[in-house]
Amino acid sequence: MLIVEGKHGAEPNPVRAKFRTGSTPDARVPTPTELATFIRAAIDHDLGFKLTGGLHHAISARTPDGEDQFGFLNVIAATRWALAHGAEVSEMKPILCQPDPVPILDIITRMSEADASVLRAFFTAYGCCGVTDPIGELVSLHLIQERTL
């Protein structure tokens, strides 16, 4: 489901798009084609976007009950690939589904600060139920370090 919402302020484009990536009792998880189409359309229309309800993990995986879940790093990598290389939906789909973190991390860790800034202007936010799961996964991928206070 695509929701376009307005924002007030001095930003150049006050409109943002929102897309649900998780299942509900009434709707299934979107397909990789649907998510890639949404990302491509947001970029093509110069819209920032946020993804809600479903990005519980860093890397895409299948749950024990057979439900596919997208990883937020996969979304970052696919969005980056679309911005840097003009990737179309067919090129973004395998990135969104990739369960191996190595190629995803390769795309992400090669970004410059300028690339990351442009990416953040498009992929502005995502929702997840528990913030500690993604943090723990980022620690296990050696992208952040856990600190004790």
Q: What is the 3-state secondary structure (H, E, C) of the chain?
A: CEEEEECCCCCCCCEEEEEECCCECCECCCCHHHHHHHHHHHHHCCCEEEEECCCCECCCEECCCCCEECEHHHHHHHHHHHHHHCCCHHHHHHHHHCCCHHHHHHHHHCCCHHHHHHHHHHEEEECCCCCHHHHHHHHHCCCCCCCCC
pLDDT tier at 8 (50, 70, 90 boundaries)?
very low
What average pLDDT does range 73-81 have in this prediction?
97
Q: Which residue has the tokens 């299948």?
A: 62
What average pLDDT does range 123-128 have in this prediction?
86
Residue type, 122: F
What average pLDDT does range 24-53 have in this prediction?
91
Q: For residue 15, what are the CA distances in angstroms to 9, 83, 115?
A: 10, 19, 22
What average pLDDT does range 17-46 have in this prediction?
90
Provide the whole-model pTM.
0.86
Domain spans, the chain: 2-140
